[in-house]
Amino acid sequence: MADLMGDPPGRRHAVVARQLRDPSKLIELLMVLLDINTAGLLPAGPLGSTGAQGPASAAPTFPGLLETLLQALAADAEGLDEAKKLVEYVMADDEPPHLPPNFLALWEAAWQAHRQHSESEETT
């Protein structure tokens, strides 16, 4: 990641960014990042499927993303910071990916909670 962030705009960068315009690839990567530091806590579950018959069956859903986020929050995982950078990075792209509905709300809320907790830990 560090490399990725530090790279000057170049070929490799463009390839990665193009790859991450596919929402399922992006979410998959996010989940891996979040999961790394909580390895072993999570049962392996089905990753992003775009066809799950959910509440809004037309939109892609990523079952397990919420649970992964919860685990990362509970573990105060460093992956959260990495994930944050990744989300900012792809959203700043010229053509940001069409993220699934609710994803940003979910992510922002989780991130805020994480920050709020870190701050209150620091003050105590």
Residues in contact with other proteins by the rule CB under 8 A: 45-46, 49, 52-56, 61-67, 69-71, 73-74, 76, 100-103, 105-106, 108-110, 112-114, 116-117, 120, 124
CB-wise, 48 or 90, nearer to other proteins?
48
Helices H / strands E in the chain, number of each: 6, 0
Least CB distance to other proteins at residue 22 (A): 17
CA distance linking residue 48 with residue 27, whole number of Å: 7
CB-wise, 7 or 76, nearer to other proteins?
76
Least CB distance to other proteins at residue 121 (A): 9
CB-wise, 86 or 103, nearer to other proteins?
103
CA distance linking residue 28 with residue 8, whole number of Å: 25
28 exposure class (CB count in 10 Å sphere: 0-12, 13-18, 19+): middle
